[in-house]
Structure 1
Amino acid sequence: MGNKNPPDERVVYLALKNVFKGPNAGVRQPKAIRRLISKSQEHGDVADLLKAHNIDTICNTARTLLTEQIFESTLKAKIRFPEVFDVSPGQSAEREASEAEAARNEANAIRGVVQGHQEDVRNVIQLEGAVETASVEICRDPKSSIPKRSRHAPSLFPVYLPFRTQHKLLVKVQTILEQACFAFGQRVMPDVLQKNRWDCPESAELNIWATEFLQRQSEFADRKSNTGKPLEKLFHSVADVRHTAVHRIRVSARGIEQFLLDAEGLATLLEDEVCLKSLTKLRRDTQLVIGELERNKHVLSSKLGETLKRTAAQRAELDRIEEEAIAEMVKEDGEYQVFAGSNLEQAIVSIDATAVALENEISSGVDDIDSVEDYGRV
């Protein structure tokens, strides 16, 4: 039935995190909690938890965590269980390296689009995809040819939004910025609108506006200090928002955050408060989601680390048992050799004794015959 003592909250959180997610994180009724746990009782972590503890105590602990919204927010979980989210220096360095590689590949992909080298773009995107998915593919493929004992835990970084989400987000940002650019053009650059016959925000794409702004940087002379970066870099970045959205280039979460910051910079430059508020809200909402993704990856890495430690200990114990079994076999074989040798030696001694007895018996028989013959002569 399992231990009736309350289980460690951290253990319960890690085991049931995947049970109480989404709408299930809002469950509070004991019966519903028990039903969800029972439904997942065949799953590895849940099964181990149920073996170690009574289901009633597990349900009580789970209800406490649910009531305090620990399953709903990885931020609250991090405050409750900081050790679960710890990142080693090695992991941090590995993440920075993967982020840097992703950024280089993304920049190359966008540059390829701008230059029109579609074949180069496809190759770069494949390389970029490898940064995101190569390690994950190891997890997806249970038939990996890597020997089990040398298998390296894959990195879950960089962080990526689902591509559908990324595309919708960047299209929205592009639309908001194009509206702001058109409004700015109406106020400050009406000649550009008239020359190009742009009569609505949809008339010109964001990268076209960026080119116009680059050619008219004097219009922003008294505003550029508020953007946080040189105007040329800012305009190139917002143009890249369009290229990324239109050409479906996969960008890491860090790249998305930079796009959103630069979009806010452009809105500030254009002095469009409505646009700025919309973009600020989008950035904050996006950062919340990215933060959840990052913390969830840390939890998964922590769980894997504990599992690897546990399996390493089990493997060491199995190795010890194996070594003991081999040693015991050799020992018993040696003992049996001694036993068999002793038996044989006893048999050899027995043969010698039998031979002596036989000689004595023969000798005694000869003496008896001689005595009879002597008696007959008398």
Structure 2
Amino acid sequence: MTNTEIVNQDGQQEVYLALRNMFQGQHAHFRQRKRIRSLIQVQPQEHAVHQILQKHGLNTVVSVAHALLGSGVFESEAKARSHFPSIFEPAVQETAVATQPTAPVVPDHTSSLPEAPCHPADAALSDGRGDCGLTTRKILYQGTETMMLIAEQEHKASDASTQTQDNHILDPPSFVCSLGPQHELMTQIQKAMEYMCFAFVERQKPKMLRARKWSCPQAVKLSLWAKEFATRPELFAGARPSSELLQSVESIWHTAVDREPLTVQQLQQLVTDATALSTLLAVPEYQKLFATLSTQLRFIVHDAKCRQRRRAKLESEEADIAKRRLELDHEERQTILRLKELDVGQSTAADSMVSKMVDRLTCEFAGIAAARLETARSSGAEDIGEDTDSDADLDFC
């Protein structure tokens, strides 16, 4: 009997409720047990996750999560509703909304980010699917127990009607964000990370700050913090950031300073790496800030996906209309041709009938004329005979 079979329907529902916030966006596409295990281990464990791990064990939870991911319940609310109908009953939903905790307050520079998008067409397009993408793995932490965070990069076709065995959701389009808002966002992220790094070192090694005469967060740029973390492993009691993660931190600084334009995927990856560093440094207020930022960026990506689905649908409709227009144009040309043929035929037929009428009338008129002429001749002969007799009578007299 497998681990999945050991857990009953209620147990699977517990796993779904505990992990559904974790397996969102790109994470909802995971299908390999190693990736699922790594994500569960690297993410900060909430109370619900900690409870199911204690109750069922890591291996069983990973097996159940693998089965649920394979059935698509994390990426499709319709499938989740079918699999766990009791969760989505109205009474249960109202209770869940009433007991939902208030979101933590974060600094003002994240409050301008958009809320979850709500488009009328989303419901009709929410089941759009795309092709499988190319997945890459990124090691974010190094230590006695290596923990992994998976970064997926998917390159998918734009046809919203295409489906695959993995049932992956369409990637957002690779459009470049407007430089103004992007630069403001990256500047704020850079500033928050510099404050976070300063607070971390101030807690771990205040002597280092005094020796370097770094009296405030503004004294150290983010790229320098990345170099310090790479050359000073003693700052970290346990796991330490990998060189790849620190390179991404430097990229955040360069993007903010050099005003480099980013695609949505690149922006999401940088924010994911910033969130990973905040988890590693464990400065509470900045963990909340970057967790909120990451959630709000997922809304932006969701909005891009919805817009891409609607665009694909409209492009498909446009293609159908163009196809119908060509068919109608062809039918119109055929109809016009038949009308012309009909007009020519009608004219020819009329000409033929008129010609026959003319011939017939000519014949009839000729007959009438001949008859009249014959009659006239006959009448003329009789008149001549009568005149001769009269002359004879006169002579006799």
Contact 1:85 1:299 in 2 (8 A): no
Offset of residue 353 of structure 1: 2.5
Q: What TM-score results when the alignment is normalised by the length of structure 2?
A: 0.50
Offset of residue 73 of structure 1: 6.2
**Aligned position for 2:197:** 181
Contact 1:161 1:290 in 2 (8 A): no
Q: 1:248 and 1:174, CA in 2 relative to 1: closer, same or farther beyond 3 A?
A: same
Offset of residue 219 of structure 1: 5.1
**Aligned position for 2:263:** 252
**Aligned position for 1:241:** 252
Contact 1:85 1:302 in 2 (8 A): no
Contact 2:177 2:261 in 1 (8 A): no
- Which of residues 224, 227, 230 in structure 2 aligns to 1:214? 230
Summarize deviations over 1:164-189 as a string: whole Å, max 9, x none.
43223222221121112223344556
User: What does 1:222-233 align with in structure 2 at a 5 Å threshold?
Assistant: 222-224=238-240, 231-233=242-244
Summarize deviations over 1:80-130 as a string: whole Å, max 9, x none.
x643344364xx68xx79xxxxxxxxxxxxxxxxxxxxxxxxxxxxxxxxx
Asked if residue 343 in structure 1 is aligned to residue 354 in structure 2, the reply is yes
Distance in 2 between residues matched to 1:290 and 1:276, nearest whole Å: 21
Q: 1:300 and 1:218, CA in 2 relative to 1: closer, same or farther beyond 3 A?
A: same
Distance in 2 between residues matched to 1:348 and 1:73, nearest whole Å: 88
Q: 1:345 and 1:195, CA in 2 relative to 1: closer, same or farther beyond 3 A?
A: farther
Offset of residue 76 of structure 1: 8.5
Distance in 1 between residues matched to 2:321 and 2:349, nearest whole Å: 42
Q: What TM-score results when the alignment is normalised by the length of structure 1?
A: 0.52
Distance in 2 between residues matched to 1:85 and 1:186, nearest whole Å: 47
**Aligned position for 2:182:** 166
Distance in 1 between residues matched to 2:116 and 2:196, nearest whole Å: 35
Asked if residue 198 in structure 1 is aligned to residue 179 in structure 2, the reply is no
Contact 2:190 2:253 in 1 (8 A): yes
- Which of residues 364, 368, 378 in structure 2 aligns to 1:353? 364
Distance in 2 between residues matched to 1:264 and 1:73, nearest whole Å: 20
Contact 1:170 1:245 in 2 (8 A): yes
- Unaligned runs of at least 5 residues, structure 1: 1-71, 98-154
Distance in 2 between residues matched to 1:270 and 1:165, nearest whole Å: 27
Segments of 4+ moved more than 6 angstroms: none
Q: 1:321 and 1:238, CA in 2 relative to 1: closer, same or farther beyond 3 A?
A: same
Query: Which letter maps to 1:285?
Result: Q
Asked if residue 83 in structure 1 is aligned to residue 94 in structure 2, the reply is no
Distance in 2 between residues matched to 1:85 and 1:300, nearest whole Å: 13
Query: Which letter maps to 2:245?
Result: L
**Aligned position for 1:269:** 280
Distance in 2 between residues matched to 1:157 and 1:344, nearest whole Å: 73
User: What does 1:1-378 align with in structure 2 at a 5 Å threshold?
Assistant: 74=117, 82-87=123-128, 89=130, 157-158=173-174, 161-188=177-204, 193=209, 196-216=212-232, 220=236, 222-224=238-240, 231-303=242-314, 305-306=316-317, 309=320, 313=324, 316-317=327-328, 320-321=331-332, 323-377=334-388
- Unaligned runs of at least 5 residues, structure 2: 1-114, 135-170, 390-397
Query: Which letter maps to 2:230?
Result: L
Summarize deviations over 1:61-87 as a string: whole Å, max 9, x none.
xxxxxxxxxxx9656957xx6433443
Contact 1:180 1:275 in 2 (8 A): yes
Distance in 2 between residues matched to 1:341 and 1:211, nearest whole Å: 101
Query: Which letter maps to 2:286?
Result: C
Summarize deviations over 1:313-345 as a string: whole Å, max 9, x none.
567556545643442343133223312321122
Highest Rg: 1 or 2?
A: 2
Q: 1:369 and 1:353, CA in 2 relative to 1: closer, same or farther beyond 3 A?
A: same
Summarize deviations over 1:179-211 as a string: whole Å, max 9, x none.
122233445566764565432211122122223
Contact 2:125 2:306 in 1 (8 A): no
Offset of residue 261 of structure 1: 1.2
Contact 1:214 1:235 in 2 (8 A): yes
Offset of residue 244 of structure 1: 1.3
Summarize deviations over 1:204-237 as a string: whole Å, max 9, x none.
221222233333457558413xx6xxx1211111
Contact 2:223 2:250 in 1 (8 A): yes
Query: Which letter maps to 1:200?
Result: C
Q: 1:375 and 1:207, CA in 2 relative to 1: closer, same or farther beyond 3 A?
A: same
Distance in 1 between residues matched to 2:260 and 2:285, nearest whole Å: 28
Offset of residue 356 of structure 1: 3.3
Query: Which letter maps to 2:301?
Result: I
Q: What SS does structure 2 have at the residue aligned with 1:167?
A: helix
Q: What SS does structure 2 have at the residue aligned with 1:199?
A: coil
Contact 1:206 1:242 in 2 (8 A): yes
Query: Which letter maps to 1:83?
Result: A
RMSD of aligned C-alpha atoms? 3.8
Contact 1:86 1:298 in 2 (8 A): no
Distance in 2 between residues matched to 1:309 and 1:296, nearest whole Å: 20
Greater fraction helix = 1
Q: What SS does structure 1 have at the residue aligned with 2:259?
A: coil
